[in-house]
Each structure stands twice: as C-alpha cells, then as structure tokens.
Structure 1
Amino acid sequence: MSHPAWVMVSFLTELLSSYGGHGYNSNCANDTEIINALLKDSYNKHYLPSHPVHVRVDMWVQEVTSVSELTQDFEIDLYINEFWDDPALAFDYMNPCKTNISFDDKVLQKLWIPNTCFINSKNAAIHESPFRNVFLMVFSNGTLWTNYRMKLTGPCNMNLKRFPFDSQKCYLTFESYNYNTGEVRMEWNRPYPVMMLKDIELPDFELVNFSVVAVEQMYPAGWWDELTVSFVFRRRYGWYILQGYIPTMVTIVISWISFYLGSRAIPARTMLGVNSLLAMTFQFGNIIRNLPRVSYVKAIDVWMLSGMLFIFLSLLELALVGFMCRNEGLPPRVKKKKRTDDEDEDFSWKGVTQTSPHLELRQFWTDKRISSLRKDGDNNVNYDIPPEALALEPQISSFHTTSHRRKENMFRRVWNLMKRIKKIKAETVDFYSAIFFPLAYCLFNLCYWGYYLSDLSKVDLDADVTASIQEADAAAAAAAALLEASGSGVEPH
C-alpha cells in the first residue's frame, strides 16, 4: 500500500477511535433502536442544524484518465468527503453498542445535507457499480460523514504557447448550491484537504503539483464559499522528440545533400529539395491535427516553420546556381552589327514620346545637323533647320549630356555588379552554402532549445496569465460594485 493510502487509513482510524470508549455490554442500544429513534417523524430535513452549518470537505484522488487539448478538459475519478454536525442526530445518550452507524443513500435522502456540487464540471456522475457508491456514517455525537465516489470532467486553462514543453492547469470548484455563507460555511478539512491514492501518470502527462484555495464569491443572491482544487499536469514531450523533432532534423540535413551534387545535377537537386519540403509539411500536419486551432504561435510552429524556411532557402540557392549555369555548353553568342545612320535616325524618332515633345523635336534637329556635318561634302545634303532650334542648341546639348551621363553611370554600376556575379562560379556558391546552412541551423537550435527549455518562456507565459487574471478580477469587482449599487446584493458574511 502506498504512503497516501496509509495516511488515509491512519486518519480514519484516528477519527473513528476518537468517538470510541464505550465497551460492549448487554444493556447497550442496538442499531435498530438507534435508527428508529433517529428517523422519527419529528426530524425535519429542511431545517438547518445550526446557523451557519460548518461543512469540512476533503477529497481522495483515485485516477486521472485523460487530459484533452481539443476539448480543453480532463477526466478524474475521486472520492469527495463532507463532515458536519447535526445535533438532532446525536445518540450518545442512548448508551449505544457502537459509536457509529453506517447507512446507504436511501437514508441520506431523509436527512439534511448541504447540497454541494462541482459548479464548473462539464459532466459529473456517481459511480453505480454494482450499486450507487454513496456512503453515510453517523457518529454518536451527531457528526455526519458522507462519501461519494464520482467521475468528473472538469475544465483546463490550456495555453499552448510552449507546446510540447508546456504544463497545463486544470481545476475543480466545489460549493453549496443552495446555501450562502449566512447558512453554510464551506472549508477544507485540514491537514490533508487532498490526498492521492496513487501516483498519477498518463501517456502524455504527469501530475506534478496540486493546490487548494477557499474564496468567497459574490452572486446576485449573496456570497458563497467556493473551494477550488487545481492540478498541474506537465506534458511528456518524448513522443514529440521522436516523432517530430528528430525526423524534421533529418529532413533538413537531407536537403543539404544537394550542395554536394554539383551544378550539373539540377533535376536531382530539385527533386531532393521539393521532396524534403513535402515531407516537412506532412510531418507538421500530422502533429497539429490533434491540437485546437489557436491563433497564437506555438513552440512546435516555430520549429516546423523554421525548418521549412531552411529548405526553402536551399531551393533558392539551387535557383541561383541554375541561373549561373544556364549558358554552360552553349555556343558563343554572335555580336550584333553596328547600326547604320538610318537606323540611328529611326531610333532617335522612337524617343520622341519619352519626354517633352518640344525638347525631342529640337533634339532631333540638332542630331540631324551633327549627322549632316559628319557626312561627306559631296552628298550636298541640306536641311532647313528652324532658327529656334539653333538658338536652343547649347542648352539642349548640355541637358542631354548630363542625363546621358547619369544613365551611363547607373548602367555601368549594374553592369559591373553583373560582371562580378558572373565571375563567381556555381561551385563556390555551393561550397559556402554547405558551410553557412549548417552553422545557421546550429545557431537556431541553440536559441530555440535555450529559450523553450529554460525559464525565459515561462516568464512570458506567467505574464500573460497574470494579465488575464487581473482583467478577470477587474470585471468581477465592477460587477460587484454594480450589484451593490442596485441593491440586489447581500452583504458578505
């Protein structure tokens, strides 16, 4: 038997022995006499035993069967215990043979109970195998002990920003459904409000911590005591390492093989890169299909998308190598013949619409005059040049020269850059890529694992949780102020 089970047995033994002290004798009252005296017609189950009734609560966790990210809840099997005093059920004055009597749920229905429930459970049911698992014990001093064996489905505050290195918090809230703090006061039973009957371990989670808290919550009908127990489950990420992280690492390394195949193996390199990208996409979809469609970025998203980026960059490197080797094996290009004067004249006319028509017309006449001077004098070609064009010839020539120099300098820079790129060989690009890509990926791994496996990501997550809690507290305070102002609330006990 585990240590928590021994603690529970010791606790119950001490509890039962504290009400002992009466030995058996022939003059003691048997169970039948006591039951007939307790369940007499004068007992009213609608009457409060005291004002207020103090109810002590503890629970024993038997098993946690599942924690679901899609539905954001967890399933748990537990025993819930309640203790309170009812002076009308005291029978120590009858000289009983036993200091306590056990009953089933049929007798419990005839007694006053605090009508407690889990207010935030999605589903709750009392086990009925083979009968309804409800236990009632009445002690001679009027103390009642009820025990329910239940199966519950409760909510979880799922935050998957650190998935699959995350920890999830699930909670259950227990309170009296009918009675406020003026009638029933709920409190955790000390010193063990929650006990684990076994170590809770799931295939993908393990229970690492639990805590309890008791608060007063305001409702339109008054203030209620709420007992909340929180369970912290830490995810086991071994499966994701084996099925997600290691395969993607291998896929990325396989995409780097193309750097060593040479510039002539373009089809093989293309097939290798595309297949790596498709394999990465398939692995990503296989992991996220069991996760809810959240709008924020998870740790697994950063890993997968970064891997896709590395493969995509390797494909871009392949495109650059293919561009540099596109003319290999082709015959040299034949230079074009020099344009004739007539072609120059036609070309000059094509630029008329590029700038102002007046400037182009003047430029046309200036070029015609220069061309006529260059020709042999025997041609005796004469053009009638307007005097306005002759007057503006120096200014137009200066403008044209400056613009031409700017364009020439720009084209010269581009041409020099192209010459430098053209001098670089495809093998050189592959050589440096084979060095740069692994180094960059190692640097990314250092940053990724150093962030998500340390407390840095937890600090950011705690800041988000604190902000949401502050917003919820502010909303609750505003609602309470509104209720008090409207006069519908009841002052706290």
Structure 2
Amino acid sequence: MKMETSHIFWSIFYFACLCSASLANNAKINFREKEKKVLDQILGAGKYDARIRPSGINGTDGPAIVRINLFVRSIMTISDIKMEYSVQLTFREQWIDERLKFDDIQGRLKYLTLTEANRVWMPDLFFSNEKEGHFHNIIMPNVYIRIFPNGSVLYSIRISLTLACPMNLKLYPLDRQICSLRMASYGWTTNDLVFLWKEGDPVQVVKNLHLPRFTLEKFLTDYCNSKTNTGEYSCLKVDLLFKREFSYYLIQIYIPCCMLVIVSWVSFWLDQGAVPARVSLGVTTLLTMATQTSGINASLPPVSYTKAIDVWTGVCLTFVFGALLEFALVNYASRSDMHRENMKKKRRDLEQASLDAASDLLDTDSNATFAMKPLVRHPGDPLALEKLRQCEVHMQPPKRPNCCKTWLSKFPTRQCSRSKRIDVISRITFPLVFALFNLVYWSTYLFREEDDE
C-alpha cells in the first residue's frame, strides 16, 4: 500500500513539472509575441516616418541632441610618409525619439533590438578627415540598434577607418604627433542637429594597446563646429597624442652613424704611404653613410623644412667626407715634404762639392806657403760666434712652458714631416669637434618643446 502511495506521489510531481515547463515556454512565446506587437505598434506602416528628425528636448522644436561615445579597439599603423593612421573602433550614438516610446510590460521589456538601421531615423554623421573606411560583416554585420521604453535610441557599430594625420616632422625622430578624429553633420545644421560628447567617459581605449613605434600618451575631446555658406554644422573631435619611441631610431640610425664616423678616423692612424688602404677606407665609409642617409629619407615624406635627423646625418656625412679630404691634404703635404727634402739634399751635395774643391785648393797653397796661423781668433770667426751664442742661451731666463708647444715639440720639423703633424692634429681635433656637436645636438633637441600648432 505504501509503495502505491509513493508511486502516485512521484507521478503527480512529474506531471506538475511538465505543466510548469510548458506554461513557461508558452509565457516566453507570448513574451516574444508581445515584442513583435510592440515593434509593429511603433514602427508599423503609416505610424513612423524615418525621414523626419526627432523633436528637441522635452518635445520642443529645438535641435535634436545626439551624444557620441567611442571605444578605440586598436590602432594598426601610423604612416609618416603618407601622414595617416588606421584605427578600429566601436562607434556609438544615442538620442531620444519620443515617437518610439512603448510600454515595458512592468519592467519585463528592457529594450528592443534592431539590426536594420533604415527602420529608424539616423543622424547624418560623417568622419571629415577619413580617407578610407569599411564596416565589419563577419559573421553577421557588427551593428545593432536598441530602443528603450522612454524613446531613447542607442546605435552601435564596429568600423575600421584610415584617417589623415598632418604631421610636423621638424623634431623627427624626437617628436610628438597629434592625430585627430573629426565627426560632423553633413546636411543638418546646428538648428536641427547638435552633437555632444557623452557625459562621463566619452572615449575609452583598450588597455593592451600596443604600437610598434609610438606610445599613446593621452587623448583630448573637444568641439570643432564649422561655418560654411550653407550654415553652421556641429562637429566633434578627439585628439590622440602619440610619442615616438626613440629606442628604435637610436639602435637603427644614431649608433650606426656614430660607428661609421669613428671608423673613418682609423685613417688618421694608418701610415701615410698606405694610400690604397686609406682611400678605400674613406670611400667605403662615405658611400655607406650616403646609403644610410638615402634609406632614412626614403621612409619620410619630402618636406620643405629641415628635420632633426637631417641635421644628424648631414653632420655625420660631413665628418666622413672631412676625413677623406684630410687624407688628400696629408698626401699633398707628404709629396711637398719629399720634394723639399730632395731639394735640400741636392743643395747639400752642391755645398759639399764646393767645400771639397776649396779644401783641395787650400791644401795646394799650404804646401807652397808656410804662413803661421794667428793664436787669437778674429771677432768674425765662426767658432767664436758659436761660443758667444751658447753663452747667451745659458744667460737667458727660463721661459714658461706652453702645453700646446710642448705637445707639438714632440714632432719637430726635422724629425716629423708636416703630413705627420696633420694626422696627429686630426686625431685630436675630429673627436673633440664631434663630441661638441653631440653635446649641442642633444641639448637642443631633447629639451626643445614642440611648436604650437
């Protein structure tokens, strides 16, 4: 008897569960049917005209207020040569259309969702600095419209844009760039349509945003209304401040250029007679530096002003070319010294030949005449003059030593040629001047502020 009672109990319980589930499904079906009825009620034929703009605040005849909100998903590329950047973002607009109010069925119907933008009135917004753009349609179009019970409409879409970004490259690659995103009304003037930034957080940026050569420092929102012959149009803009990553250019440009300049100084330590080695070294470093400069300019647009990188490459190229010219000067001085030494040798040979001839004549005369030489030398005698000169040198007070003359005295004219002196002076002068240029260059461009645009 007990077994039959429990079996009947569980049968009734199971039947009750099935009935409740069927009632819930019917309620859901009826709820979706109510959504359809609400949509037909507010968007049915002859009830709503998408060509007419919504009324102003509180149903007045003022302009329709549209609030804008952006979510920056990614920034793909920032091109210096094209002066543009590509961005992917979620774009949102929100406004109130009192014609779309509906009953929320005691809070159960939070909003209605549409995927066809042509069913309701849409603001005629466009991106004024856009070059290219496209919607995303995989797998379905990434767009939706939500209609809330109070008549508020939210339009959200994911788009990719390529936007113009005029750049000032005077401080390149130590520069900061401001790239703008401008949105304006195409046909509705401010008397009919006004764009405003959404209160709170009008622009959001994805947290893990990574750019290859830039860092997004900050962004600013502003208004940019424009007046034309046809009226004043509402406009919004967001300025993205990008700072260029200098480490890439330090490794790829500045350090290689410094190394090329230093390698060109190796020529000063080679022997003057090593003409092939010094010429090949100078020409190789010059051509390499020229190739480096042309490669840098190929990645930049042709502008009418001088950039910071132009100053750097120009001075480095001048130093390399100066090292090559220094060898030309050394070679010329070496040949001049050789010619002068040959002339001196010929003069000494002639003087020695004349002295030998004179001594032969004296020997002949001495054999014929036995004249006694005087014991006291005359004042004009060369030996007496030499002793007098030595005494005057010892009697003079010691002069104060000069560091430059002391250093140059290590290479006296008789022991070291002029060409050798040029090499020795170049070993000190070139590095000092290059170090001074580095000091002036980095102090000028690192602490120089951007010109106000």
* Whole-Å separation in 1 of the counterparts to 2:256 and 2:265: 15
Which secondary structure state, in structure 1, belongs to the residue aligned with residue 165 of structure 2? strand
Percent identity, aligned pairs only, is 33
Quickly say closer, same or farther: Cα 1:428–1:26, change in 2 above 3 A.
closer
Residue 299, structure 1, aligned to residue 308, structure 2: yes
* Whole-Å separation in 1 of the counterparts to 2:444 and 2:331: 38
The match for 2:133 is: 124
Pairwise CA RMSD: 2.4
- Deviation sequence 1:408-428 (CA, Å, 0-9, x none): xxxxxxxxxxxx999962222
The match for 1:385 is: none
* Whole-Å separation in 1 of the counterparts to 2:88 and 2:63: 30
Tell me if the contact between 1:56 and 1:189 (Cα under 8 Å) persists in the aligned partners.
yes
Q: Match for 1:42 among 37, 44, 47?
A: 47
1:306 to partner: Cα distance:
0.2
The match for 1:316 is: 325
Q: Give the aligned length.
A: 351
- Deviation sequence 1:145-176 (CA, Å, 0-9, x none): 00011101111121111111111211111122
Q: Match for 2:34 among 30, 34, 37?
A: 30
Q: TM-score, normalised by structure 2?
A: 0.73
Tell me if the contact between 2:67 and 2:197 (Cα under 8 Å) persists in the aligned partners.
yes
Tell me if the contact between 1:25 and 1:97 (Cα under 8 Å) persists in the aligned partners.
no
Tell me if the contact between 2:65 and 2:193 (Cα under 8 Å) persists in the aligned partners.
yes
Residue 462, structure 1, aligned to residue 451, structure 2: yes
* Whole-Å separation in 2 of the counterparts to 1:429 and 1:98: 92
Quickly say closer, same or farther: Cα 1:421–1:42, change in 2 above 3 A.
farther
Q: TM-score, normalised by structure 1?
A: 0.67
Between structure 1 and structure 2, the one with the greater Rg is 2
* Whole-Å separation in 2 of the counterparts to 1:327 and 1:37: 106
1:316 to partner: Cα distance:
2.2
Instruction: Output the amino acid matched with 2:73.
Output: Q
Quickly say closer, same or farther: Cα 1:95–1:34, change in 2 above 3 A.
farther
Deviates more, 1:87-96 or 1:223-232: 87-96
Tell me if the contact between 1:92 and 1:140 (Cα under 8 Å) persists in the aligned partners.
yes
The match for 1:356 is: none
Q: Match for 2:154 among 117, 125, 145?
A: 145
Which secondary structure state, in structure 2, belongs to the residue aligned with residue 462 of structure 1? coil
Which secondary structure state, in structure 2, belongs to the residue aligned with residue 246 of structure 1? helix
The match for 1:155 is: 164
* Whole-Å separation in 2 of the counterparts to 1:178 and 1:325: 81
Which secondary structure state, in structure 1, belongs to the residue aligned with residue 451 of structure 2? helix
Tell me if the contact between 1:60 and 1:197 (Cα under 8 Å) persists in the aligned partners.
yes
Instruction: Output the amino acid matched with 1:52.
Output: P
1:32 to partner: Cα distance:
1.4
Tell me if the contact between 2:337 and 2:418 (Cα under 8 Å) persists in the aligned partners.
no
Tell me if the contact between 1:216 and 1:225 (Cα under 8 Å) persists in the aligned partners.
yes
The match for 1:197 is: 206
Instruction: Output the amino acid matched with 1:157.
Output: P
Which secondary structure state, in structure 2, belongs to the residue aligned with residue 276 of structure 1? helix
Which secondary structure state, in structure 1, belongs to the residue aligned with residue 335 of structure 2? coil
1:273 to partner: Cα distance:
1.2
The match for 1:98 is: 109
* Whole-Å separation in 1 of the counterparts to 2:29 and 2:294: 77
The match for 2:223 is: 214
- Deviation sequence 1:460-487 (CA, Å, 0-9, x none): x414x2xxxxxxxxxxxxxxxxxxxxxx
Which secondary structure state, in structure 1, belongs to the residue aligned with residue 216 of structure 2? strand
The match for 2:437 is: 444
1:135 to partner: Cα distance:
1.0
Instruction: Output the amino acid matched with 2:299.
Output: N
* Whole-Å separation in 1 of the counterparts to 2:243 and 2:50: 45
Quickly say closer, same or farther: Cα 1:164–1:421, change in 2 above 3 A.
farther
Residue 113, structure 1, aligned to residue 117, structure 2: no
The match for 1:268 is: 277
Residue 427, structure 1, aligned to residue 416, structure 2: no
Tell me if the contact between 2:279 and 2:324 (Cα under 8 Å) persists in the aligned partners.
yes
1:236 to partner: Cα distance:
1.5
Quickly say closer, same or farther: Cα 1:176–1:322, change in 2 above 3 A.
same
Which secondary structure state, in structure 2, belongs to the residue aligned with residue 35 of structure 1? helix
1:441 to partner: Cα distance:
0.5
* Whole-Å separation in 2 of the counterparts to 1:247 and 1:215: 45
Tell me if the contact between 1:67 and 1:75 (Cα under 8 Å) persists in the aligned partners.
yes
Residue 239, structure 1, aligned to residue 248, structure 2: yes
Quickly say closer, same or farther: Cα 1:421–1:298, change in 2 above 3 A.
farther
Quickly say closer, same or farther: Cα 1:167–1:276, change in 2 above 3 A.
same
Quickly say closer, same or farther: Cα 1:221–1:451, change in 2 above 3 A.
same
1:253 to partner: Cα distance:
0.6
The match for 2:83 is: 72
1:213 to partner: Cα distance:
0.5
* Whole-Å separation in 1 of the counterparts to 2:253 and 2:245: 13
Tell me if the contact between 1:116 and 1:175 (Cα under 8 Å) persists in the aligned partners.
yes
Which secondary structure state, in structure 1, belongs to the residue aligned with residue 224 of structure 2? strand
* Whole-Å separation in 2 of the counterparts to 1:314 and 1:176: 62
Tell me if the contact between 1:208 and 1:233 (Cα under 8 Å) persists in the aligned partners.
yes
The match for 2:182 is: 173
The match for 1:248 is: 257
